[in-house]
Amino acid sequence: MQYSMMDGYSYGAMGYGMVIFGLIFWILILIGFVLLIKYLWEHSGAKVEQESAIELLKKRYARGEISKEEFEEKKKDLL
């Protein structure tokens, strides 16, 4: 009795090749998905750049929120 490819017992070279390429395809899809998530996580818009305390102090002085005396006093404290 001869088995055909439909019986599931004899895949032949073409059948095994399709299984291997199918696995490779899904592995590549999974790797791509993981890399996309990693990229989005690292480059999210919610990331806030932190400024140094001295930079914040300079900005407050430039906007007129603090006087020159306050600026100099706070600058001494920071440095």
Q: How confident is the model over 32-68, as pLDDT tens digits? A: 999 999 998 887 765 556 678 888 889 999 999 999 9
Are residues 34 and 55 both part of a single domain?
Answer: no
Output the CA torsion 71→76→77→79 (10° steps).
120
Domain assignment of residue 60, given as a range: 49-79
Split at pLDDT 50, 70, 90, the class of 24 is: very high
Angle of CA points 70, 71, 73, to nearest 5°: 65
Are residues 59 and 36 both part of a single domain?
Answer: no
What average pLDDT is seen over the chain?
A: 81
Please identify which residue in the block is written with the tokens 């750049």.
Answer: 49
Are residues 6 and 32 both part of a single domain?
Answer: yes
Average pLDDT on 4-32 reads: 78
pTM over 0.95: no
Are residues 30 and 65 both part of a single domain?
Answer: no
Are residues 23 and 38 both part of a single domain?
Answer: yes
Split at pLDDT 50, 70, 90, the class of 4 is: low
What's the structural domain count of the chain? 2
Are residues 24 and 42 both part of a single domain?
Answer: yes
One-letter identity of residue 44: S
